[in-house]
Amino acid sequence: MITITDVKLRGGEQAVVTVDDGATKTPHVTTHQLVVRYHLEAGKTLTQDEFRTFIAANEFDLLYNKALSYLSYQMRTISEVKKHLRKSTSDERLIAKLIAVLKQNNYLSDSRYVEEYVTEKMQFDLVGPIRIKEKLIQKGIHYDLIDAELIRFSGDIEYDKVSELIQKEIRHRLKKPYRKAIDSLKRKCVTKGFHLNVIDAAILSMKEDIMAQIDERDLLETAFLKLKKGVDLDDYEQRQKLMHKLMSKGFSYELVKDIVK
């Protein structure tokens, strides 16, 4: 038989129940609810089966409250909650039971998570559908749920976001020749998760705006002055090497030829 030797109620709905199995006294952190449910009080005795039932119920309640606390900060995916619970238990059947109850009580829903995540990214962030999909996959969301929601991320929305991102990047003068500047803008947009065909279309439509932020001749003259030191411009081979270096920095052949005389 198991004897309860002490029951202490704490704040925050916690309680400590101390039991004596005849060999040792062991405190168990539990909840006020379980103390009431099992009529626990000092001096009460429990059979081994009753004690095991209490321990199982206690483990479930503690883990359930742990999951609720984890969900209280922000929305979580099923995979994230499972991973969090595995820090406290290796019992996969118990975790599955907890997940089922959380879903039943409407605390957990991957479909709702994806819907709100995509909506938030579409409304407030300059990120594309590729990045969104990658992030949701990392969170353990099934591909079908992701693809169903990303239908809302239309080509027009993506084009507008790419245009806004490019506009943000060219607010100030660009310190690269046009070709290099375009490469940088493409990399930035790809990193943000936009499709290359949409990026190319936006860049093409904003070509004049981009070029207006670049004084390519001034940039070339600055680079030329740095690289021409020690170069004999009358030597054909040295002059060609210098021109090659300048073109490798993104300057056009026509402009380089005009400067290197």
**Whether the model pTM is above 0.85:** no
Report d(CA 234, CA 168) in Å as an integer: 44
Say how many Å lie between the first and final Cα of the chain, rounded. 102
Q: What is the C-alpha to C-alpha distance for residues 88 and 35, in angstroms, rounded to an integer? A: 22
Tokens at residue 157, please?
A: 């929305």
Q: Give, in order, the Cα–Cα distances in Å from 45 to each of 8, 54, 83, 177.
A: 17, 12, 37, 84
Least confident of 137-151, 198-212, 225-239: 225-239
pLDDT tens track for 99-135:
999 999 999 999 999 999 999 999 999 999 999 999 9
How far is it between the farthest Cα atoms of the chain? 106
Collect all residues with Cβ–Cβ distance below 8 Å to 49 and sequence separation of at least 6. Answer: none
What whole-number distance in Å separates Cα of residue 233 and Cα of residue 76?
Answer: 65
Place of tokens 């936009």: 194
Residue at token pair 């740095």: 226
Does the domain at 2-104 match CATH 3.30.160.20? Answer given as: no
Is 110-150 CATH 1.10.10? yes
